[in-house]
Structure formats: C-alpha cells, structure tokens
Structure 1
Amino acid sequence: FFIDASEEGDLLKLSGTEYVIGAESQIQTGERHAPEKEDPTNIQALTHCFAVDHLEDEDHTIKVPDMYQFWKEYIPSLHPPWPGKLLSLAYSNPRTLHPKSLSFIPPGKTEKAPHTDPLNLWLYRRIIDRDNFKAGTFRSDISLINWPQNDFLLGNITDVHADIRKQNLYQAKQLSLSLLYWLQTEAPRPDGSQGWKGLRLRKDICGTEDGLAKFPYIRESRRIMAEYTILEQDISLEDRMEITGKSAEEARAKKNHDAVGIGYYHLDLHPSTGRDNYIDMASVPFQVPLGAMIPVRMENLIPGCKNIGTTHISNGCYRLHPVEWTIGEAAGSLCAFSLLRKAMPRQVGNSSKLLSDFQGLLVDQGIELAWPDS
C-alpha cells in the first residue's frame, strides 16, 4: 500500500489516480458557495512563511527585494474588492468582507508587545514569548509571519508548466521578503514614524539561506475522486440548520457510519487565484468518513492529508493540520489493518464486519470517532 501525504497530492498524479483540483461548480456539488462554473485553476493562495524577532536599537534591514516596488504598489484584484494595497495594516474581514484595520507593535528591550484593538499582528502567530522562559534565554519574542499580507494570489504551482511553477515560487518568496522590508522601513508606528529596523529575519528557525520556509504553506492540493465526497452541506452551520430544522445550538454535521476520526474548524477559504475574496463561514464539529479516503478506482493508494475527497469549499476546514493528522493516523491504521486481515481498503469500507473491527481498532488506539454530543 502507498499513502500520499505530500503537500500537493503528488502521488495522485504520478500514479494515475483520478483526482480533482480547483473549484467545482454549483451544478456539480450543489454547494451554495461554489462558483457557477468549475475552474481547476482557482486555488487558495499559498504563503511563504518566515520568522522574525525584534532587537530594538539594532539595524537588521534586509537588502531591497528585487520585486519590492511591484509588491509595494500591488492591490489584489478580488471580488468583493480588497480594501487597498496588500502591503498595509488592513485587510478584508474574512466573514463580512468589510475593511478591517490591524496594528503591528513588536516588543522592545524590556517592554512586552501590547495587546491592542485592532489586533497586534506581532501576537497573531507569536511562537516564542520570552517571558515564558528563564531570563536571558531569548533576547526577544519570535513571531511567525503567515498573514494575509503574504498570501500569494498571482498563480498556482500545481499542475502548471515547470517554468510557471518556478516563476510563481520566486514571486511568492519576493512577496514575503517585500513584506519584511516594508515592515522594517515603511510600516507605520504609533509615534508617527515608520519602520521597525530591529526586525531580524531568523534564518536559523527555518534552516534556510534566504530565511524563508523550506516550502510554502499549501492550503489546497489535488484531491482524490473518492467513493464519498464531503460537501459544504454536510458541515456548514447554515446548511445543517436548514436541512435539520434545528437551531444553531442544536445543529450537527451529517453523521458518517464509517467515521475514522473527528475534526473541527470553520470553513476558511483564503483569497484565491480565481480572484475570490475570503469565503468564510461557521461550520459544526464533523467526522472524517472512510469513504472520503477510498479512491473511486485505485485499490492500493490512500490519501493521508488534505488530499481526501473534499471539494474546493469543504476543504476549507479539512485542510487544517489537526484534521490532516487525524487523516494520517487513519490512513496508516487502515493499511496495517488491511494487511493484517488480507483485505483491500475498499473492502474494509464496504463490509460491516471489517468496518466495525477497524473502527474498534481505532478506538483502542485512542482515536475518537464521534463528538460527545453528536
């Protein structure tokens, strides 16, 4: 057996496994937030993350990135519109799509980074709070920069020509470096001045020469054509209330008899290469159905992460790392169980006896298959 746990679903393409990519149409899925027409090129933005600390009174300004002037003036062309330049302390509120202000104030030598309204982005993805450690362990907090401001929207890297892939990866890196340079030199400060030159790119955190992550954060990959495809109407709060006639407090996700794990996150689609702004809505705690992990034809390949049978929309909450880890646990256990019982994964899903035994194995391993109140 083979498990595809790659970021882009690489093994699906290499093995000839049937898959989909991009956005399905409303006619195909019946999802209220799906576009009118399918678009395989409409994929959520990727992001080249990086880590920084802040050493006040020191100058760690990087060399001007080659594409800085382009990214400094870049305004995303989205529907509904983005509020202005990407390199700014403003973005679209994911739920309302109204303009939303942000702040950025890193810590000083002794001062803590303040909690502010609007949100202080330094604290948004802070990975080290120096106050949690023995004095002198860290000179500064460390913050991971994975923001709307370095979401790359100009193109995809999956299922495109090698030259286009290379170009888009380069431009995505240039965007992240341009964001850092903008923060160091032009970002507004509370006292009216500009730039935080003490921001230091922590190359040691990512282990790379350029200081950026070794690979971009991929939100959407190839997805298997599965025996069962998870739809928006299986998990969105609005749909579940409408389908069940229950209140927001009582509504639950569609129950899956073949559940092999659980997960929860709101449906969170970042702006996409198809020029969609955020698609963000409430969901309900959900299950991971085994049917979404069984390809329609291929017998010995199992998806092990965000490449299961979801749609462009439902991927918005199954793509999160804790859910991917659950999928990976189920995939590994399924392969081991299939070998032990001399059965193919499809047979496990289609046999009530094998399925019950497999689910029992998962429970014995500490994997939860249902939410307590479901």
Structure 2
Amino acid sequence: MKRRHKVAGFQTSLITFSLISNFFIPDYTVVAAPPRNPDKTVDCEILVVGGGLSGVATAYEALLAGRKVCLTEITDWLGGQISSQGTSALDERPTQRMRQFYSRGYLELRDRIRRKYGELNPGDCWVSDSCFLPRDAHKILTEMLKDAEKRGRGKLEWFPNTVIKELEISPLSKEDSKAGGQLIKSAIAIQHQPAKGAPPINTFPLSNTIEDAYRYQNSSRFTKNIIRLAPKQNKGNAPKWYVVDASETGEIIALADVPYRLGIDARSYLEPSASSTTNDPYCPQGFTYTFAMEATKEPQPQKMPPFYLQYAPYFSYELKRLASFDLLFTYRRIWSPKKGKPEKFGGIGFTTPTPGDISMQNWTWGNDYRPGTAKDNLVYTRQQLQATGQLKPGGWMGGLRTATLDKAEENALSFYYWLVAGTTDSQLGEGVKQQQINNRFLSGINSPMGTVHGLSKYPYMREGRRVIGRPSWGQPGGFGIWEIDISRRDYNDEYYRKTLPADMYRRLKAALAGLEAVSVIDGKVSPDQAMRRTRSTIFPDAVGIGHYAIDFHPCMVQSPPEAPGNTERPGERRGAGQAYPFQIALRAMIPQKIDNLIVGGKSIATSHIAAAAYRVHSFEWSAGAAAGTVAAFSLKNDVAPYQLVDDLPKAEPQLQALKRLLEQNGNPTAFPDTSIFNQNWDDWK
C-alpha cells in the first residue's frame, strides 16, 4: 500500500498509465444549479445507487457493520432481477447449490423464500430450484434490511422512485495522477411521486415515465423532491463517504465519466472467442421486459396488439426439442397451487400446467429485445451521451434510449399474443406453433409484476457498461476479468489455430499454461504441448465468488431487431459454454480517476464474454456483499480501496485483513480447495 498525500481525507498515490483509445478522462464534473434549492439534505456514510440484488447486498453488509446507508432505486421495489425486473427464478449451478456455498445474505434470502411458501420452489419450475412471485421478493428483502439495521445498529435511508441527477466531483489537482485523486463530494437526487389527481406509480411503462423522472420540474404526472445526498460534515475533519454504483446499466460510472467498456471487446489472447477484431459498443446482450401469464380452465379472449404484425416475424420456440408450449410455460413457472401430471418433452421432465398456474416469461426468441446497431442500441455510448448533451451539467437523463425501451415493451406484449394466438415460428417454420387460448395476461397493481400494464417495472438487464479498472501488473491499460480467466473451453480447437495470429495463439496458450508460461513465451515449449490449467484464474485480491455458465443472448445483425429474416450476430455464441467456479477481484470494483467510488453488480471490470457468466443472482449478491464490506472497512480503517491493492503482487496486509473479515462474516472469497496445485474442478457442475 503506497501512501503519498491526502485528498479530502483519503490517501492517494501517483500511478502512471497509458489510456486505452476512445476512453477520454475529463478534469471534473460541474453541478448545474437546480431550478430550486434541494428540499432536504441527507447525510450518508455509504450511498448505494440501485436497489437490485447487488445494491441490497451492499446495504445489508454495511448495515450489519453499523453504517448509515442511503439507498436509491428508480422503481419502488427492492430486488432488481427477482422483483422489479421479474426474473424471479434463481440462476444457480448444481454443485454450488448442493454445497450451499454462497454469501450469508444470499443464504438468508433462500431461507426466507422457503419459509414464505413452505418450500423453495412454489412455482414447480424446471429451470431452477427456486421460482417464486416477484412482488414477494420485494417484501422479503425489505424485511431482511430492517433486520440487518437492528442487528448491526446501522441506519437505512431508503429512497424509492429516485434517480441520481448530478454528481459533485472535486477537481483533479496537478500533482494527482489521472488514475485517481478525485472524490464524489455530493449527489443530487430526484424523487418522484404521483401528482395530485394523477394515476398511481406503475400505471405507465418505463418508456413513458423515465424522462420525466430525470427532470427537475414537476409535471402533470409527477411531483418531485430534490434531495442532496452527502457525507456528514465534521468539524476539523474532511468528510468521508463512499458511493457504490449498483445500478443496472453502470449509470454512475457513465455520469462520473470514468473509463468503461460497452458491448463486444476486440479479439485478443485474453478474449480469443470474440466475434469481432475490433470493439463494438453497440452489441451487448439482449434485455427483457418480463411478464406473467396464468393458465385458465376456460378459453380467454385474446386481443391482438395493434403493433403485433411488426414483431411476429421474430418469435420462435428456437429449437425443435423446445417446441412445446407446456415446456415453455413451466420453464419459469412462478406459482403452482396444484401440481400437474409428470411429463417429458425433448428429454426434459416437468409437470403439466393446471388452471391457476402462473408463468413468468423470459425467452430469447420471444420477449428478449436484442438491438445491435448505433441506430437502436439501448445503453448509450460515451459519444452518444456527449451528442445528446447528457454529460453537460444538468443534462443527465439516465443514459438510455427511450425509443428502444418503448419498442421492447411492444415486443414483450406481442410475444404474449404470439404465445396464446400465434401460429408462426421464425426458426422452425409452419405447423409447429399451435394456439393456446386458455391463458390470460396478468396486469394490475396487485399482479405479480405490480404494474397496471403488466410488464416488469424495469427490464432485465444482462449487460450494461463495464468499468475499466486501474492499471495493474500484466494489464497496464486497466484491470479486467476476461474470457480465459473463467472458461472451460478447449482452446486446442482448430478454430483458434486458424483464426488467431500465431503470436496471439502463443500468448493465449502461455496465459493458460500456468507454470509453463515462460517456456511457451520463450519458444522452449510448443503452444500445442503446453498443459492448460483446469481452473479459473486465482486473484490475490478476491473478495467474492460466482459460478454460472457463459450464457449468451446475442444482439441481432439488422435494425430493427424484429426485422423479418434477421439473424444473430455471427460468432457471438462461440464464447458461450461452461465456466469454472470463479472469483470477484477487488481491482474489478475500483474505477479509474475517483477514489471513493466502488462498482458492484454487473458493471464490474469484466469483458463482454466473461460478463455473460458474471451477471446472475448469487454473483450479484456476492459482489454487493463485497462492496458493502469494502466500504465499511475503508471507513473504519481510513484507507481507500485502491490502497489495498496498489502494491500487488507484493503482500498487502490490509487486504488480507479485509479478506479475513469477509470470510469470518460468511462471505466466501474462494471456492473450497482453491489452489494453484488443485487441478480437479471437473466435479463442479
């Protein structure tokens, strides 16, 4: 840990590095004067932006550590994936689930689900061991945070229906390096509630309300409270706090304008399965508006949406072995009061739907919306943010393309109609899809999604902006976790020999060779003779864990995505496949430029391919648990997170103290028997 000088209460170090092209770092952010003074100022020790699983886990650990936490969320539900985004089917791997090797908070969540329903899987789904109602997830997590607040004697300030509009960031002094030295001094938030006489929250879909939510002015739909969030001012001491970006799209890293990536990374020895030789920020994974539908005893009237014919050419069961309505319905069935008869289709066992069963839909060739061009990408690039004025003081509007949200909502509503009344299939042809009119679309404030329109409050985001970590040994352009750090793929495949340049192929095999790496680089050992390690990369600064397959929902080639005959981006699924149990490196959570910003959830420093595994429920919780623990530890020990890793690979005593704390608190940083000598990971399924 290097200590050179202090900025606003934090030690900073001089680090030199070369910037990756296309990632410009400005001097500082200026806060525009809001149309009126803030209605109130709230002091926080830790500001968590985003109430998804990562944000809840951050707050959970920080509250148990006795800290004051401010938690903001654009919707009115806690839980993200399992609540406001509707994907209440826990993505887990068999071995990790069998061993119950998860963060303590995630284990508590699973236990509370079991206690709520008397079983872990009240939906009797087959995709997971646990499928349940999204509205219940919010209630469960609310109680978890209340209990954590009491047990740890922390304090929670919860701000639903709230967005961050601006950040006040300290200027960068001349002696500071561009890798760090700045601090977020305060944040301006806007909280909205229904205007007098206006319909309740969740009446309209997100595309109708998101721009209004980011405007200071009251509207016919919303009245606004302007809230200043800042650290408590102590006499004689510089204010100290941490901001955690736990948002679904990397919103704060964009607003703070720290370096990040979007979409496809260029093919390299670290990312050898990349579908492009150059970066492509317009092709992240698809996103999904989920919805719930109920099986009924009697046929139901099914009204064709006026826009249905535009989207119908896209929909498909995708594969013959999946071409069964009952199979798809039970895939993510989230409620089943009466169990049906056992059945099999395509080798998959399930129980048949019965009246009253509720299914949540999240299907690749269905309600996934998969734009892949600059015309329709959802998450704006830095250049697009500049062009739309969102990086100017007071200009931030959430960083998303509203028109694409609108089309994704139309696509989801059209998919429901296809499921019950459609007879076409874009991938399998005529005669496969049959009508299923004994079903109804569930909508209303008391419905599983909690919305009048019936769609999830927020889309399920598989991938957004991914921060670039600070320069680190072996990665002078900025730390990241890459494909080869986690993938089980056999890189002896002829594809890699033929596709990768000889030097790139040699570097790939050397990076995977472990103790033989130097001999491969020197040419003493042939790349084809080198033994590859059979585990993921072991990070000395590991602060959390995850395990899931590299699972792709690729973008589409043409615009719009639903265009007849459209295809997935060629080569995108090559990176898909099984992964070894992996770790979350602290360096992946520390952005460049700003010392008191911590990145959690899906926006940590991963590549496009690695992100396809680092996005599921238990990972999000582990990353949030790490973020909350790191923030509390840093406040207690007067040390900035980057100082815990800036001497690596040399010993970092305070880093080891942090890791011990995580482990003692029941938040694993490594899987059992993780060691450079353990090559037996085949049992981890």
Choose the corresponding residue for 2:332, options 118, 125, 131: 125
Residues 220-299 of structure 1 aligned to structure 2 (within 5 Å): 220-227=463-470, 228-238=479-489, 243-244=512-513, 251-273=534-556, 275-276=568-569, 277-279=572-574, 280-299=576-595
Structure 1 contact 51–202 (Cα < 8 Å) conserved: yes
Residues 108-257 of structure 1 aligned to structure 2 (within 5 Å): 120-131=327-338, 139-148=355-364, 149-154=366-371, 155-159=376-380, 165-187=401-423, 194-203=434-443, 204-227=447-470, 228-238=479-489, 243-244=512-513, 251-257=534-540
The 3 A distance-change label for structure 1 pair 358 and 364 is: same
The answer as to 2:348 corresponding to 1:102 is no
Structure 1 contact 41–273 (Cα < 8 Å) conserved: no
For 2:594 and 2:273, how far apart are their aligned partners in 1? 30
For 1:132 and 1:325, how far apart are their aligned partners in 2? 31
The 3 A distance-change label for structure 1 pair 345 and 132 is: farther
Identity of counterpart residues, as a percentage?
34
Counterpart amino acid of residue 9 in structure 1 = G
Residues 329-348 of structure 1 aligned to structure 2 (within 5 Å): 329-348=625-644
> CA offset at residue 297 of structure 1?
2.3
Counterpart amino acid of residue 655 in structure 2 = L
- Per the normalisation by structure 2, the TM-score is 0.46
- 5+ residue gaps, structure 1, are 74-85, 92-99, 107-119
Structure 2 contact 423–432 (Cα < 8 Å) conserved: no
Structure 2 contact 379–400 (Cα < 8 Å) conserved: no
> CA offset at residue 198 of structure 1?
2.1
For 2:432 and 2:485, how far apart are their aligned partners in 1? 49
The answer as to 2:262 corresponding to 1:21 is yes
Structure 1 contact 173–212 (Cα < 8 Å) conserved: yes
> CA offset at residue 132 of structure 1?
6.5
> CA offset at residue 131 of structure 1?
3.1
Question: Aligned to 1:281, what secondary structure does the other structure show?
Answer: coil
Counterpart amino acid of residue 672 in structure 2 = P
Residues 305-344 of structure 1 aligned to structure 2 (within 5 Å): 305-344=601-640
Counterpart amino acid of residue 377 in structure 2 = N
Question: Aligned to 1:52, what secondary structure does the other structure show?
Answer: strand
User: Match for residue 78 of structure 1?
Assistant: none
For 2:548 and 2:491, how far apart are their aligned partners in 1? 15
Question: Aligned to 2:545, what secondary structure does the other structure show?
Answer: strand
User: Match for residue 3 of structure 1?
Assistant: 244
Structure 2 contact 542–586 (Cα < 8 Å) conserved: yes
User: Match for residue 309 of structure 2?
Assistant: 69
Counterpart amino acid of residue 369 in structure 1 = T
Structure 2 contact 243–597 (Cα < 8 Å) conserved: yes
Counterpart amino acid of residue 483 in structure 2 = E
User: Match for residue 175 of structure 2?
Assistant: none
User: Match for residue 47 of structure 1?
Assistant: 288
Counterpart amino acid of residue 535 in structure 2 = R
- Per the normalisation by structure 1, the TM-score is 0.82
Structure 2 contact 466–604 (Cα < 8 Å) conserved: yes
For 2:293 and 2:363, how far apart are their aligned partners in 1? 13
Question: Aligned to 2:539, what secondary structure does the other structure show?
Answer: coil
> CA offset at residue 193 of structure 1?
9.0
Greater CA drift, 305-314 or 191-200? 191-200
Structure 1 contact 66–174 (Cα < 8 Å) conserved: no
Question: Aligned to 2:440, what secondary structure does the other structure show?
Answer: strand
Structure 2 contact 481–605 (Cα < 8 Å) conserved: yes
Counterpart amino acid of residue 285 in structure 2 = Q
For 2:588 and 2:598, how far apart are their aligned partners in 1? 10
For 2:266 and 2:310, how far apart are their aligned partners in 1? 33
> CA offset at residue 313 of structure 1?
1.1
The 3 A distance-change label for structure 1 pair 269 and 90 is: closer
Question: For the pair shown, which has the larger CA radius of gyration, 1 or 2?
Answer: 2
Deviations 1:14-72 (A, max 9, x none): 11222111112124x641112211111111111111111110213142x3223211111
> CA offset at residue 192 of structure 1?
8.9
Structure 1 contact 240–251 (Cα < 8 Å) conserved: no
The 3 A distance-change label for structure 1 pair 234 and 139 is: same
For 1:132 and 1:186, how far apart are their aligned partners in 2? 27
For 2:432 and 2:483, how far apart are their aligned partners in 1? 45
> CA offset at residue 327 of structure 1?
0.5
Question: Aligned to 2:635, what secondary structure does the other structure show?
Answer: helix
For 2:491 and 2:580, how far apart are their aligned partners in 1? 8
User: Match for residue 560 of structure 2?
Assistant: none
Q: CA RMSD in A?
A: 2.6
- 5+ residue gaps, structure 2, are 1-241, 341-353, 389-396, 425-430, 471-478, 493-508, 514-529, 558-567, 675-685
> CA offset at residue 11 of structure 1?
0.6
For 2:307 and 2:449, how far apart are their aligned partners in 1? 22
The answer as to 2:671 corresponding to 1:371 is yes
The answer as to 2:271 corresponding to 1:31 is yes
Deviations 1:237-269 (A, max 9, x none): 12689624558xx71111111111111111112
> CA offset at residue 295 of structure 1?
1.2
Choose the corresponding residue for 1:361, options 661, 665, 685: 661
Counterpart amino acid of residue 158 in structure 1 = V
Counterpart amino acid of residue 226 in structure 1 = G
The 3 A distance-change label for structure 1 pair 320 and 240 is: farther
> CA offset at residue 150 of structure 1?
1.6
User: Match for residue 346 of structure 2?
Assistant: none
Matched pairs, number: 331
Deviations 1:81-131 (A, max 9, x none): xxxxx322224xxxxxxxx4423344xxxxxxxxxxxxx111211112223
User: Match for residue 79 of structure 1?
Assistant: none
